[in-house]
């Protein structure tokens, strides 16, 4: 970011970047001013600072790319789209404050966010109160589309139960049933570990583990405990920078020679932040860029690389899908009214150029959870010409299979009055 000679609010800087990105990418101005129409405002709240910043930035990048793409094709309901981005700073109170600001002062039509599951849940309380349509691109904790589901809230990323159910059979089959968990002590970590434990116990397994702060930096005590337990598999459930630090310390201890490694998510942004010896283990990917047999994916990845100067990750795809989901719902509803958007998105199937994977990908009506494939496979150092070729897919698990029935989620959807 270039130096400024006067103080500028963070969101102003982010918006300037969005405007520049859109004009550079598509050779068109950010706002289609010729119409003179009031833009469709979409507010996004994400932790652009803190340990989850890299994941958050990728979601913003995907949303910015979609914003420019949508504007190039005429906007939403004939109006230009304007993405307003706020930094939650990985703090629940800040995330709620920014959500209220976007709704009350900026008059956004839709809210997206947050990467942090606890913040996403707190935001959903606000959006539900305000009757504002809300998509959670990347906050995974189960209650968002489970016991605390809401008519106005939809989610792109998987639930933690879907993550655990998809990869557990592979870990048990390949390595065994004695596991050790290193898990972040907040909403995402609690529901992820609970889901893994449920699946492991069902398979006849046993476990031990530690729950650590979301921004933990020192893992030696926990790793020594894991080493003494002698598990078949160590599950590193941390996220962002904390997961990277844990992976580095795990390999510094030489523990990769004593036990297998895996878990729910080891995302592209985090894999790239690790040295080659720590690029290992069996994990889920919620979307993967290397799908040579899906022409829509091949085109999307080539275009995204050319325009954004990066290979898209699952997080980029989350942001991209979220923006296009707003467009698709608005086109179907012919409205930006919150309840009408929600009704339109229920059971809506994403077109191939948005789903970007094989099969039917839809927002399930009963709980508003997207049902994509889950890519299960192993992480490894680069294979091939692309620096991001760090994952080999072993199995595609259908989202419907991993999610189970709506009745099992605890969601009892109450429609708006």
Q: Is the pLDDT of residue 306 over 50?
A: yes
Distance, CA of 119 to CA of 316 (rounded, Å)? 19
pLDDT tens per residue across span 361-391: 999 999 999 999 999 999 999 976 677 999 9
Residue given tokens 């130096």 in the structure block: 3
CA torsion angle for 230, 210, 176, 231 (degrees, to 10)? 0
Higher pLDDT, 11 or 141: 141
Helix, strand or coil, per DSSP, at residue 138: coil
**pLDDT band (50, 70, 90) for residue 2:** very low
pLDDT at 61 over 50: yes
At residue 175, what are phi and psi to the nearest 5 degrees? -125, -30
Distances (CA, A) of 352 to 65, 158, 297, 299, 323: 17, 19, 9, 12, 15
Tokens 């189960």 map to which residue? 142
d(CA 64, CA 160): 27
Confidence of residue 65 (pLDDT cuts 50, 70, 90): very high
Q: Determine the pLDDT at residue 35.
A: 44
Supply the mean pLDDT for the chain. Answer: 92
Fold of 10-158+294-371: Rossmann fold (3.40.50)
Angle between helices 314-333 and 53-72 (to 10 degrees): 40
Which part of the chain is CATH 3.40.50.2300? 10-158+294-371, 161-285+374-403
Cβ-contact 234, 179 below 8 angstroms: yes
What kind and span of H or E run contains 268? Answer: helix 268-272
- The yes-or-no verdict on residue 234 having pLDDT over 60 is yes
Rg, C-alpha atoms of the chain? 21
Q: What is the pLDDT of residue 349?
A: 98
Please tell me the predicted confidence (pLDDT) of residue 417.
Answer: 81
Eight-state DSSP code of residue 38: P
Contact 142, 165 (CB under 8 A): no
pLDDT band at 58 (very low <50, low <70, confident <90, very high): very high
The CATH code that applies to domain 161-285+374-403 is: 3.40.50.2300
Average pLDDT over residues 204-217: 96
In DSSP terms, which residues pair with 180 in a beta bridge? 208, 234
State percent of the chain over pLDDT 90.
89
Count CB neighbours of 386 within 10 A: 13
Is 0.75 topped by the overall pTM?
Answer: yes
Residue 27, pLDDT > 70, answer no
The 10s digit of each residue's pLDDT in 81-124 is 999 999 999 999 999 999 999 999 999 999 999 999 999 999 99
Residues contacting 395, CB < 8 A, separation 6+ = 170, 376, 377
Q: Which two tokens stand for residue 117?
A: 């599951």
> What span, in angstroms and rounded, lies between the C-alpha atoms of 48 and 13?
13
Q: Are 233 and 171 in contact (CB under 8 A)?
A: yes
Reply yes or no on whether the pLDDT at 3 is more than 60.
no
What is the per-residue pLDDT for 318?
98
Phi, psi of 23 (to 5 degrees): -70, -35
**CB count, 10 Å around CB of 266?**
29
Tell me the helices (H) and strands (E) count for the chain, helix number first.
15, 14
**Would the pLDDT of 28 be above 80?**
no
- ω into 210 cis (within 30 of 0): no
> Which pLDDT value is given to residue 289?
97
- As a whole number of angstroms, the distance between CA 222 and CA 287 comes to 31
pLDDT digits (tens, 9 = 90+) for 388-405: 999 999 999 999 999 999
Segment 340-351, tens digit of pLDDT: 999 999 999 999
Q: What SS3 string covers 343-369?
A: HHHCCCECCHHHHCCCCCCEECCCCCE
Helix (H) or strand (E) holding 377: strand 373-379
Report the pLDDT value the prediction gives residue 258, as an integer from 0 to 100. 96
Mean pLDDT, rounded, for 262-270:
97
Concatenate the DSSP letters of all residues of 48-73 into one string.
-SSTTHHHHHHHHHHHHHHHHHHHHT
Backbone angles phi, psi at 230, to 5 degrees: 55, 60
């Amino acid at each position: 970011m270039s130096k400024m000679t006067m103080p500028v609010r963070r969101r102003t800087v982010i918006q300037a970047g969005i405007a520049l990105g859109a004009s550079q990418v598509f050779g068109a101005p950010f706002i289609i001013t010729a119409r003179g129409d009031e833009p469709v405002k979409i507010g996004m709240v994400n932790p652009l600072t803190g340990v989850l910043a890299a994941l958050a930035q990728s979601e913003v990048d995907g949303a910015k790319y979609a914003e420019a793409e949508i504007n190039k094709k005429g906007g939403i309901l004939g109006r230009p789209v304007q993405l307003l981005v706020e930094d939650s700073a990985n703090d629940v109170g800040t995330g709620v404050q920014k959500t209220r600001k976007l709704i009350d002062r900026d008059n956004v039509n839709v809210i997206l966010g947050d990467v942090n599951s606890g913040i996403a849940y707190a935001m959903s309380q606000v959006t539900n109160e305000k009757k504002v349509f809300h998509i959670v691109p990347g906050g995974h904790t189960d209650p968002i589309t489970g016991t605390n589901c809401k008519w106005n809230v939809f989610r792109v990323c998987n639930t933690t139960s879907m993550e655990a159910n998809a990869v557990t059979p592979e870990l048990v089959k390949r390595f065994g049933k004695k596991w050790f968990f290193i898990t972040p002590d907040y909403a995402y970590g609690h529901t992820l570990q609970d889901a893994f434990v449920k699946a492991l116990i069902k398979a006849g397994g046993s476990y031990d583990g530690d729950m650590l702060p979301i921004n933990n930096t020192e893992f030696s005590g926990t790793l020594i405990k894991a080493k003494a337990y002698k598990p078949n598999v160590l599950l590193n459930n941390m996220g962002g920078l904390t997961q990277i630090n844990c992976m580095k310390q795990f390999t510094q201890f030489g523990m990769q020679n004593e036990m297998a490694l895996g878990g729910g998510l080891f995302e592209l942004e985090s894999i790239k932040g690790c040295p080659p010896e720590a690029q290992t283990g069996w994990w889920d990917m919620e979307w993967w860029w290397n799908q040579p047999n899906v022409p829509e994916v091949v085109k999307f990845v080539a275009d995204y690389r050319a325009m954004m100067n990066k290979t898209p990750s699952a997080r980029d795809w989350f942001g991209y899908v979220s923006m296009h989901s707003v467009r698709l719902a608005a086109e179907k509803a012919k409205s930006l009214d919150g309840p009408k958007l929600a009704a339109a998105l229920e059971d809506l199937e994403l077109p191939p150029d948005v789903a970007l994977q094989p099969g039917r990908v839809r927002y399930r009506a009963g709980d508003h959870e997207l049902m994509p494939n889950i890519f299960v496979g192993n992480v490894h150092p680069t294979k091939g010409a692309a620096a991001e070729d760090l994952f080999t897919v072993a199995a595609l698990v259908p989202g419907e299979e991993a999610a189970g029935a709506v009745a099992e989620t605890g969601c009892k959807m109450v429609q708006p009055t």
